[in-house]
A and B are shown apart, each in its own frame.
Chain A
Amino acid sequence: MRSTFLGFETARRGLAANQKGLDITGQNMTNVHTQGYTRQRLDLVSLSGSHRDRVRSMSGANAGQGVSVVGVSQIRNAYLDSRFRSEIANTAYFESSLAILNSTEAVLNEVNSGFKPYLSGLVSTLQSFANNPDQTTQANMVRTSSKSFVDMFNHVSSQLNQVQTQYVSDLKIEVNELNQHLQKIQHLNQSISAQMMYDPQGVNTTAVNELLDQRNVIVDELAQFLNITVKDEVGGSIAIYVNDHPIISSEISEQVNLFTQPDGSVRLTWQSSGQPLSLSAGSLKANLDFINGATGVNKGVVYYREQIQTLAKTFSEVMNQAFTHEDGSHKTLLQFDSITSLMRLSEEFELNPRYIISEGASQSILDNTHIHALIQRLEGPLDFDGFKGSMSDFIEQYSVTLAQDINFLETRWNVSLAVVHDIEQHRDSISGVSLDEEGAELMKYEKAYKAMARLMTTMDEALDTIINRTGLVGR
């Protein structure tokens, strides 16, 4: 048999549930712009009134007990999270690679400046010198344009070093940030596990919804540094792997160490094992590939520095073979130091432009054949450590390679951005807050709340009948 005041209790539960509904709607609305916020939903169940055991059967007597709030859950799709993290690692890889290569192209830009104009300028002065091979003015012009080429080379070389230094320093900041992220995730793992101690299966996340959001934001950011795989662990914590190497779990918290090599390149190792990182995407891989990249698929700063060093070496050789002393020995015009990667005019040439003018008995002859031969060599085919072509071809070859690599990465970056955009849209479509929807929810709960109040009044009126108006006959 139903208890007398059962209906009041039903109405009270209804009022409380709808009030909570209004609270959660308010929570959703106020967090509409909060980064990483996941839409929350009030989980309601209808209370069962039936009860049957060996002694008695209560079927039907306690029916209509109303509603119960079992928790507040997040609406999230783990598959989309995984896809997002995998693709954002690609996007970050392309973006960071492009940043380095764009800086490199800005230094080696042949469209606005570059080596070619200086090479052409030198050839022009040599043409002029060939027409007047005895004149100091012309020899001085050759010296000046040689010096311009040398200055240009040294400038480009030091700029490339600066690009490398700048990105190494950026990488240090990234590694610090990454290590902090790893620590934060570990702390959040611990906090979430502690909160969910009594629900290790993670069915009811009411108490940790906000912590889960914080952790998801950091994991999403972490995915930009490395290619990560995230796995749920019992007790609410997560384990993170980088190509099967565990970096976060309930027991492990990995850190990354950065070492700078004497040639300016960098090495990243795991703190636990000292082994180098094996990466397949993310901004860290981009930095490793293009700060260190010397050959093969990843032609980075080191590769282009080597290219201009080859250019400088070959250029110096050609120039130094062009002019001879009376005894037939070659005059050294340029000196190239491959260790410092700097080129300079020899002291003799620097101090005396007439150094390249024929001396002694040869002075009585206006010989320009060696100057024409030099022009031909500067414009003709040479061997650049395997590449056969003119100096201009060589400059063009590495400039075009760089430009094509940038083009290729830009195309892939744009595709990756479109994919990320698509995944984000899907993710927000599921986890994001829609103000229209929340507005409707607001009206829904408000109407339901009013209905519950009416239920309470109805119950009150019904009891009023039995309490105050029943049994008054004959009074």
Chain B
Amino acid sequence: MRITTKNLQRTYLKGLNQNIKKLSDSNERLNTGRRFSRLSQNVVDGSKALRVRELMQRNLDYVSNAQQVQLELSSQEDKIMQMQNLVQDAKELMIRGYSQTHNEDDRTIISGQLNQIKEAMVQIINSKSVDKYTFATNHNEPPIQVNGSDITFYGQNVNHNDRSDFANGAFNVDIGFLMNINQSAIDVLGHGVDTSGIPNNILVLLNDISTSLLTNDTTHQAQYTAKMDTIATQMLMKVSDIGMKVNYLDSTLSRFGDENLALTTKQNNLEAIDFEEEVIFNKTYEMAWQISLQLGSKVLPLSIFDFMR
């Protein structure tokens, strides 16, 4: 084949362009830290990377929700423990009240203290954790209404025996699945009346005890004591139920953490460049480009005219 001056120039420029393109692509990768900045540069890894990003974002949402559930459960636990302590205090007061060493004035004072404990419990049960009523199921209103001796849970008298007649809507939080974080005031405080006519609800019970102290009626002393123990135990059981949920959430959060780590590693493998490797490539491309330039300045102008006399 006859080699002309244009042949030489075209081949040289093609090589030079290829070298500078490689250098420019490598510079872009080093600047961005990414193996590709458009999907068309790496369709397979690019589409996988988009999926991974999505999963990571979803994981972050679940972690945030799980952390909120943890706060919610922790608040439920704290408040039930406070009420359980109040039940213990009430029990001690009741025992003191029924004791024959106290006169009528003392019993009146103790009766008043029991009423204060009841009010404190109503305050706790009707309180909000952060922005929601802690024991309100899925309602947006305080769960317990006290109107004299009439105590109701969303309109239903707490002495009602059938649990299914009480409001019990679920409030779900998405942690990969929908977790019901509802804790009903009626389950914490108790409802209905037992076969002996003793109320299962602590607020009604405190009302009854308070009244019996004023009338110095000690007939149900033993049953009241037993009932208070039962309610206190029920509260502790609730706390232990919540504890189990908290433990489950802990392991869930730890799983999310592991998944996130795995996803981050995957994302790095898919998207991020190996800097050491890329820098070596970059230097190689730079050198190839410089050699091309030197070659151009030395080879191209040479022709027979450089040697003719």
Q: Mark A residues whose CB is within 8 Å of B.
A: 32, 39, 102, 105-106, 109-112, 116-117, 120, 123-124, 127-128, 130-132, 134-135, 363-369, 372, 375, 379, 392, 396, 399-400, 402-404, 406-407, 410, 421, 424-426, 428-430, 432-437, 439-440, 443
CB of B280 closer than 8 Å to a CB of A: no
Partner of A425, one of B10, B58, B65: B10
Interface centre among A109, A111, A430 (most CB of B within 10 A): A111
Q: Please indicate the chain A residues that have their CB under 8 angstroms from the CB of B47 in the complex.
A: 396, 399-400, 403
Tell me whether A433 and B4 are in contact (CB under 8 A).
yes
| Given A124-B61, A372-B172: A396 in contact with B50 (beta carbons within 8 A) | yes
Residues of chain B contacted by A434 (CB below 8 angstroms): 2-5
B121, chain A: closest CB distance, angstroms? 23
User: For B40, what are the chain A residues with a Cβ–Cβ distance below 8 Å?
Assistant: 102, 105, 402-404, 406-407, 410
* 27 A-B contact pairs sorted by A residue (CB < 8 Å): A105-B39, A111-B49, A116-B50, A117-B53, A123-B61, A124-B64, A127-B174, A128-B64, A130-B172, A364-B139, A364-B140, A364-B141, A365-B139, A368-B171, A375-B174, A392-B50, A399-B50, A403-B39, A421-B14, A428-B4, A429-B4, A432-B6, A432-B7, A433-B4, A434-B5, A436-B303, A439-B308
Q: Which of B162-196 contact A (CB under 8 A)?
A: 169, 171-174, 178
> Would you list which residues of chain B between 195 and 218 have a CB under 8 Å from chain A?
none
Chain A residue numbers with a CB within 8 Å of B2 are 429-430, 434, 437
Roughly how many angstroms separate A123 CA and B50 CA in the complex, as a whole number? Answer: 16
Query: Given A363-B140, A367-B138, are A402 and B39 also a contact pair (CB < 8 Å)?
Result: yes
| In contact, A372 and B174 (Cβ under 8 angstroms) | yes
| A27, chain B: closest CB distance, angstroms | 15
Complex CA gap A123/B11 in Å reads 55
Question: What are the 7 tightest A-B residue pairs by CB atom distance, in nearest-first order?
Answer: A432-B4, A439-B304, A406-B40, A403-B39, A403-B40, A120-B57, A435-B303
CB of B6 within 8 A of CB of A407, answer no
**Cα distance A369–B141 in the bound complex, in angstroms:** 18
User: Which B127-152 residues have C-beta < 8 A from chain A?
Assistant: 131-132, 136, 138-141
Contact with A along B65-90 (1 / 0, CB 8 A): 10010000000000000000000000
Expressed in whole angstroms, the Cα–Cα distance for A434 and B281 within the complex equals: 37
| A137 → chain B closest CB, angstroms | 9
Q: Are B138 and A400 in contact (CB under 8 A)?
A: no
Bitwise interface map of B from 290 to 309 toward A, beta carbon under 8 Å scored 1, else 0: 00000000000001110010
Minimum C-beta distance from B101 to chain A (A): 49
Known: A132-B131, A366-B132, A425-B7. A392 touches B61 (CB 8 A): no
User: Which A residues are CB-close (under 8 A) to B138?
Assistant: 365-367
A363-B140, A364-B141, A396-B47 are contacts. A428–B38 as well, Cβ < 8 Å?
A: no
Expressed in whole angstroms, the Cα–Cα distance for A112 and B50 within the complex equals 10
Interface SS majority for chain A: helix
Q: In the bound complex, what is the Cα–Cα distance between A135 and B68 (angstroms)?
A: 15
Residue ID in chain A nearest B133 by CB atoms: A366
B5 touches A111 (CB 8 A): no
Q: Which residue of B lies closest to A379 (CB)?
A: B58
Within B240-294, the residues touching A (CB, 8 Å) are: none
Given A365-B139, A375-B174: A110 and B50 within 8 A (CB)? yes
What number of B residues sit within 8 Å (CB to CB) of A?
48
A432 and B53 CA atoms in complex are apart in Å by 55
B43 touches A404 (CB 8 A): yes
Tally the A-B contacts, defined by beta carbons under 8 Å: 144
Q: Which of A111, A127, A424, A430 contacts B39 (CB 8 A)?
A: A111
Q: Judge whether B11 and A425 touch: CB under 8 Å.
A: yes
Contact in complex: B49, A131 (CB < 8 Å): no
Nearest CB of B to A380, in Å: 13
Q: B112 — which chain A residues lie within 8 A by C-beta? A: none
Q: Judging by beta carbons under 8 Å apart, are A131 and B43 in contact?
A: no
Which residues of chain B have C-beta atoms less than 8 A from A112's C-beta?
37-38
Query: CA–CA, A424 to B10, complex, Å?
Result: 9
Which residue of chain B is the closest to A440 with respect to CB atoms? B304
B173 touches A130 (CB 8 A): yes
- Other A-B contacts than A111-B34, A120-B53, 20 sampled, CB-CB below 8 A, are A111-B39, A111-B50, A112-B37, A112-B38, A124-B61, A130-B172, A131-B173, A134-B140, A365-B169, A366-B132, A366-B140, A366-B171, A368-B171, A392-B54, A399-B50, A400-B39, A403-B38, A429-B4, A434-B5, A437-B4
> What is the distance, in angstroms, from A432's C-beta to the closest C-beta of chain B?
3
Taking CB atoms, residues of chain B closer than 8 Å to A123 are 57-58, 61
Given A127-B65, A439-B308, verify A32-B5 contact (CB < 8 Å): yes
* CB proximity of A374 to chain B, nearest CB, Å: 11
B33 interface residue per 8 A CB criterion: no
- Does B30 interact with chain A (Cβ within 8 Å)? no
A425 neighbours in B (Cβ, 8 Å): 7, 10-11
Given contacts A124-B57, A132-B131, contact A369 B46 (CB under 8 A): no
Complex Cα distance, B2 from A429, in Å, reads 5
In Å, the complex CA distance between A135 and B140 comes to: 11
CA distance A443 to B304 in the complex (A): 11
Interface status of B224 (Cβ within 8 A of chain A): no
Q: Which of B21-54 contact A (CB under 8 A)?
A: 34, 36-40, 43, 46-47, 49-51, 53-54
State in angstroms the CA–CA spacing of A89 and B105 once bound together. 110
Interchain CA distance A311-B152 in the complex, whole Å: 50
Q: Chain A residues near B136: list those with CB within 8 A.
A: 366
